[in-house]
């Protein structure tokens, strides 16, 4: 049987010694310290005000650059994924069958596969295979989330557009990247406006003969909406310009896409702010202040690897061009923090320090009369420090150091009381895959949910510990292996109940290994963990075999 056990801690805290003094003495001390505190507080607050202004300015500049650098990284990741999609489809075996057999059966199957691909990716306005004569073979339109295969009778000849001529001239494994512009259908700019970036590569049959090209029309609003979201969350404007200084994303829609319209050719940054234009286009990245505010900018070169120390190297898929030619294709991402916001930020700091000064004067007397308050604050700080030294901050389980100490202690208790316990070693399945696929926030959710379900299933007397990453152990106190299996069955039921709700695109799964320790066995904590880990690994190996089989 399992009995509730409670850890005992020292009771009580030291009392505060009280001194009895006359009211006159108290008032005298109060007035002397109050005057000193007032002068000292004023000096300190002025010093911190000056430091805060400098710190906030540096923090603002650092955050502004960090935001646009993060956008640069995200865009590179997006582009890498698009390019991977492009070359995957370019080497699609079904496409080779279409080239070799020219069968309607293969053509229809190709269209269906591309339809599924379009629906899953949700980022390509069009996916189009074009033969070397410019005739569209298959085209799938995304159609705002309702993709369809374009009927053959309305497929078009694309021999005239520039993207066909440039892509068909490339070699195997090379990439065509169009300007970031608006989609044009039958000579007219599509309404509502649809920003597009075309990715293209030539297609070869199994004999190495060029058969045509593959074009992916990437929905540029994915990039622009992400930049708009950044602007909406903070008091700043995020802009995107092309190499000629035209706004792709501007302060207002009226300023955008000037290069696409004859009557807007003169709407460029140089005309609106020549100082900012010169500073932005003379360097790769940087920051500067003008009377308008703070500008932070960075340059994105799709055909070049980003580098903080130089322009970077040509990427493997880049066409056979010189670095100078590759430099001519770029975008500028700009974060603009207006001067009125800078002024308000400074005024808020001043007002904050004035209020703080007045508040400090008002409460200084209270602080003198109630000096014991500092003791209790110190007590809370020490208790908080103790918690951080004892528990894992993320899960609330014991940390590795303390958990191992408890395990050593449990060995001694078992030898003394002749009551066995069971050690359960636990590993969260597929954490790395979920981190890689859905991001680390989702991985953290998996860890927190798994530990919550585990905590709800084991008993209050049991001890749980996080060893690190996705590995944990639980000390099931005064429990045999049979009793431990019943407890684990509760864990499984909790997990199955959670998975049945289908709240996530993956299933939560844990692997475990049990080792029972009986009195006088003489095993060390490390030996128990090693044995339990080995059993857990055996279960995890079987799980992976089943998982990989189902996945394939």
Kindly state whether residues 440 and 499 are assigned to the same domain. Answer: yes
Residue range 513-536: mean pLDDT, rounded? 91
Kindly state whether residues 240 and 332 are assigned to the same domain. Answer: yes
Tell which of 180, 197, 222 closes a domain: 222
317 or 218, which is more confident?
A: 218
Residue range 480-489: mean pLDDT, rounded? 94
546 or 256, which is more confident?
A: 256
Residue 465 is part of which domain span? 390-551
151 or 232, which is more confident?
A: 151
Q: How far, in Å, CA of 466 to CA of 344, rounded?
A: 46
Phi, psi (degrees; rounded to nearest 5) at 208 = 85, 10
Residue 385 resides in a domain: no
> How many independent structural domains does the chain possess?
3
Q: pLDDT band for 319, please (50, 70, 90 cuts).
A: low
Residue 514 resides in a domain: yes
Residue 513 pLDDT > 80, yes or no?
A: yes
Confidence at residue 353, expressed as pLDDT on a 0 to 100 scale: 84
Kindly state whether residues 415 and 484 are assigned to the same domain. Answer: yes
Kindly state whether residues 169 and 269 are assigned to the same domain. Answer: no
Confidence at residue 10, expressed as pLDDT on a 0 to 100 scale: 28
Confidence at residue 28, expressed as pLDDT on a 0 to 100 scale: 61
Confidence at residue 384, expressed as pLDDT on a 0 to 100 scale: 66
Residue 12 resides in a domain: no
CATH of the domain at 297: 3.30.450.20
What tens digit of pLDDT does each residue of 93-118 get? Answer: 777 777 777 677 888 888 899 999 99
Give yes or no for a contact between 134 and 164, defined as CB atoms under 8 angstroms apart.
Answer: yes
Kindly state whether residues 257 and 336 are assigned to the same domain. Answer: yes
Confidence at residue 62, expressed as pLDDT on a 0 to 100 scale: 92
Kindly state whether residues 330 and 242 are assigned to the same domain. Answer: yes
Confidence at residue 96, expressed as pLDDT on a 0 to 100 scale: 74
Q: What is the DSSP string of 201-242?
A: EEEE-TTS-EEEEEEEEEETHHHHHHHHHHHHHTTSEEEEEE
Residue 375 resides in a domain: no
Cβ neighbours for 203, distance < 8 A, ≥ 6 positions apart: 90, 95, 99, 129, 210, 211, 212, 213, 214
Secondary structure of 311-351 in HEC code, one letter for each residue: CCCECCCCCCCCHHHHHCCCEEEEEEEEHHHHHHHHHHHHH
Residue 27 resides in a domain: no
Tell which of 190, 222, 254 closes a domain: 222
CATH of the domain at 465: 3.30.70.270
CB-side neighbour CA atoms (13 Å) of 130: 26
Kindly state whether residues 482 and 528 are assigned to the same domain. Answer: yes
Confidence at residue 11, expressed as pLDDT on a 0 to 100 scale: 30
Kindly state whether residues 406 and 325 are assigned to the same domain. Answer: no
What tens digit of pLDDT does each residue of 27-63 get? Answer: 665 676 677 778 888 888 888 888 888 888 899 899 8
Kindly state whether residues 499 and 530 are assigned to the same domain. Answer: yes
Kindly state whether residues 253 and 166 are assigned to the same domain. Answer: no
30 or 409, which is more confident?
A: 409
Residue 145 resides in a domain: yes
Kindly state whether residues 405 and 516 are assigned to the same domain. Answer: yes
Residue 367, Ramachandran bin (φ over 0: left; ψ between -120 and 50: alpha; else beta) = alpha
Q: How far, in Å, CA of 458 to CA of 484, rounded?
A: 9
Q: How far, in Å, CA of 431 to CA of 543, rounded?
A: 14
Q: pLDDT band for 9, please (50, 70, 90 cuts).
A: very low
Tell which of 309, 341, 373 closes a domain: 341
Residue 86 resides in a domain: no
Confidence at residue 8, expressed as pLDDT on a 0 to 100 scale: 32
Confidence at residue 548, expressed as pLDDT on a 0 to 100 scale: 81
Confidence at residue 177, expressed as pLDDT on a 0 to 100 scale: 86
Q: pLDDT band for 488, please (50, 70, 90 cuts).
A: very high
Give yes or no for a contact between 84 and 117, defined as CB atoms under 8 angstroms apart.
Answer: no
Confidence at residue 232, expressed as pLDDT on a 0 to 100 scale: 59
Residue 362 resides in a domain: no
Kindly state whether residues 401 and 545 are assigned to the same domain. Answer: yes
What tens digit of pLDDT does each residue of 427-451 get? Answer: 999 999 999 999 999 999 999 999 9
CA-based nearest residue to 428, from 536, 547, 549 = 536
Residue range 317-339: mean pLDDT, rounded? 70
């Amino acid at each position: 049987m399992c009995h509730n056990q409670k850890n005992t801690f020292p009771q009580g805290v030291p009392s505060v010694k009280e001194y009895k003094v006359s009211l006159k003495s108290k008032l005298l001390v109060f007035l002397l310290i109050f005057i000193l505190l007032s002068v000292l507080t004023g000096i300190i607050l002025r010093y911190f005000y000056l430091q805060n202004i400098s710190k906030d300015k540096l923090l603002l500049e650092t955050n502004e650059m960090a935001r646009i650098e993060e956008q640069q990284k995200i865009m590179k990741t997006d582009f890498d994924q698009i390019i991977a999609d492009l070359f995957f489809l370019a080497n699609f075996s079904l496409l080779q069958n279409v080239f070799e057999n020219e069968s309607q059966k293969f053509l229809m199957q190709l269209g269906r596969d591309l339809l599924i691909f379009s629906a899953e990716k949700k980022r390509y306005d069009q996916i189009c295979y074009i033969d070397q004569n410019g005739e569209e073979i298959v085209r799938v339109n995304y159609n705002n989330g309702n993709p369809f295969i374009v009927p053959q009778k309305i497929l078009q000849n694309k021999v005239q557009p520039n993207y066909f001529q440039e892509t068909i001239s490339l070699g195997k494994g090379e990439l065509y990247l169009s300007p970031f512009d608006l989609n044009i259908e039958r000579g007219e700019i599509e309404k509502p406006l649809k920003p597009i970036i075309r990715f293209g590569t030539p297609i070869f049959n199994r004999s190495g003969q060029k058969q045509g090209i593959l074009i992916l029309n990437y929905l540029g609003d994915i990039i622009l909406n992400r930049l708009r979201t950044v602007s909406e969350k903070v008091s700043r404007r995020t802009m995107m310009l092309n190499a000629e200084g035209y706004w792709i994303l501007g302060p207002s829609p009226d300023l955008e896409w000037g290069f696409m319209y004859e009557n807007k050719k003169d709407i460029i940054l140089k005309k609106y702010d020549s100082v900012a234009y010169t500073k932005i286009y003379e360097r790769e990245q940087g920051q500067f202040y003008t009377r308008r505010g703070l500008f932070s900018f960075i340059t994105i070169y799709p055909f070049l690897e980003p580098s903080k120390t130089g322009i970077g190297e040509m990427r493997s898929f880049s066409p056979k061009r010189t670095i100078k030619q590759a430099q001519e294709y770029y975008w500028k991402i700009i974060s603009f923090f207006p001067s009125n916001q800078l002024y308000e930020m400074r005024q808020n700091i001043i007002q904050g320090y004035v209020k703080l000064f007045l508040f400090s004067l008002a409460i200084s007397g209270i602080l003198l009369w109630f000096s014991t308050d500092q003791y209790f604050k110190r007590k809370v700080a020490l208790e908080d420090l103790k918690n951080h030294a004892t528990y894992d901050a993320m899960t609330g389980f014991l940390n590795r150091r303390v958990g191992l100490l408890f395990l050593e202690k449990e060995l001694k208790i078992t030898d003394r009381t002749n009551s066995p316990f069971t050690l359960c070693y636990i590993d969260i399945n597929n954490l790395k895959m979920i981190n890689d696929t859905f991001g680390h926030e989702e991985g953290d959710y998996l860890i927190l949910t798994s530990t919550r379900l585990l905590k709800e299933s084991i008993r209050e007397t049991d001890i749980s510990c996080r060893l690190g990453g996705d590995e944990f152990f639980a000390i099931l106190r005064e429990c045999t292996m049979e009793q431990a299996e019943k407890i684990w069955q509760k864990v499984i039921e909790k997990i199955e109940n959670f998975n049945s709700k289908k709240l996530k695109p993956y299933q939560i799964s844990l692997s475990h290994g049990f080792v029972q320790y009986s009195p006088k066995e003489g095993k060390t904590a490390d030996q128990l963990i090693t044995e339990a880990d080995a059993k857990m690994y055996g279960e995890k190996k079987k799980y992976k075999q089943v998982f990989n089989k189902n996945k394939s």
